[in-house]
Amino acid sequence: MPISGFPEWLPPQRLIEQYVLDKIRATFELYGFAPLETRAVEPLDQLLRKGETSKEVYVLRRLQEDPSAPGGDDALGLHFDLTVPFARFVLENAGKLQFPFRRYQIQKVWRGERPQEGRYREFLQADIDVVDRDTLPFHYDTEMPLVIGDVFAALPIPPARILVNNRKVCEGFYRGLGLADTEQVLRTVDKLDKIGPEKVAALLVETAGASDAQAAACLKLAEISASDASFVDAVRALGVDDPLLDEGLGELVRVVEAAAEHAPGLVVADLKIARGLDYYTGTVYETQLRGYEQFGSICSGGRYDNLATSGTERFPGVGISIGVSRMLGLLFGRDALAVSRPVPTCVVVALPNEELRPACDRIATALRRRGIATEVAPTAAKFGKQIRFAERRGVPYVWFPGVEGAADSVKDIRSGAQVDADPATWEPPAADRHATVSAG
């Protein structure tokens, strides 16, 4: 019986998922990110200290727990993202790492939120982060969208648009307005898409001590959006001054201009983007797919200067995370991705009779050694039935072993064309060698 929020893809969907993961991994490695996998569990105090609500964390507990055991299992929770465990890993292994440290991580995470389309309780994320000791140069903030842009350009998916903001812009603006509780203002403005401007304005007055005029100014800032540096003039026109605001605008211009050179149209400065987690301190990213904007972000992240600290040591970082399950769930729901066949098999070796199974296995072995996915027919049924077996599974070729001195032959069961072939040399067309993924 299915459990809501815990997706299980069918084999064709899993083939698509693996294809997507291979493209993500290859692009991450092209940019020099090294692979990492961290444990699934973290101490609860570690998971809850950076702004995540406790109701979303799954607690790990044994049915037969020993209450006298030190550090009981109930003090552990499943990680809800990959950034918190990564920060812990950096602190524990700082002496063994070379900084700046670039890593990618592709793992399951668990979050106890209400399941809906494209939003799950168990899901796969693909993260990249760069961390350094003491200070992290800003150019890494400009690199993140470029990597993600290249990932999405390599996939048969709708065009992506990365929305970028900088928390320094927002916090500096709120300070310049005279609002002291900038974090509360940020959290409230982050709800704009969910509850709309009127309710956000009311909440700002109620929870952040804003006047009606201050709330209106916050909403005007959130309306500003541009794919070039013109957003700076729009912010200046609001008449607010603050040194942190100036710093944030300068950084945001650098991100937008670097992206415009690398991939025009990829990045848009959108000053309502805030990101809900408290640990972000500067640049923040959210990504939408064209045609799927109503579902929100499928890739997000940002700059965090204080997430990983130990005594006087600090390891600032910047990262971005692709919600792989979220993205695929939305695309599968629209039949927007297709795979050329539901199995990896390229060739089925027909079986004339059971006595010839060892010879057929040798043919299959010769093909596999050259990277051609091959299986032997399950039974020595009539050849027509064996062809239908291959056909039902989308396998393009059936191999017929030569008997009584005749040559082997291979048949393309889509066209009916059949040619003599040697398992040591025969090659399928490149497009048939592997199952291929395309837009549905």
User: Which residues participate in the annotated binding site for L-histidine?
Assistant: 81-83, 111, 125, 129, 275, 279-280
Q: Is the peptide bond before 12 cis (omega within 30 degrees of 0)?
A: no
Whole-number Å distance between alpha carbons of 250 and 347: 58
How is residue 279 annotated by DSSP? T
Per the listing, tokens 């640049």 go with: 283
What sign has the CA pseudo-torsion 356, 358, 362, 367?
positive
DSSP one-letter string for 301-342? EEEESSSSEETTEE--EEEEEEEHHHHHHHHHHTT-EEES-S
**Binding residue numbers:** 81-83, 111, 125, 129, 275, 279-280
Nearest to 290 by CA among 164, 438, 159, 162: 159
Q: What is the CA radius of gyration of the chain?
A: 27
Specify the DSSP class assigned to residue 159: P
φ, ψ for residue 250 (rounded to 5)?
Answer: -60, -40
Return the bridge partners of 301, or none. Answer: 285, 320
Supply 270's token pair: 């959108």
Closest by alpha carbon to 350, among 402, 425, 427, 289?
402
DSSP state of 73: G
What sign has the CA pseudo-torsion 350, 351, 356, 358? positive
Pairing state between β 313-314 and 309-310: antiparallel
DSSP state of 416: -
Contact yes or no for 106/124 (Cβ under 8 A) = yes
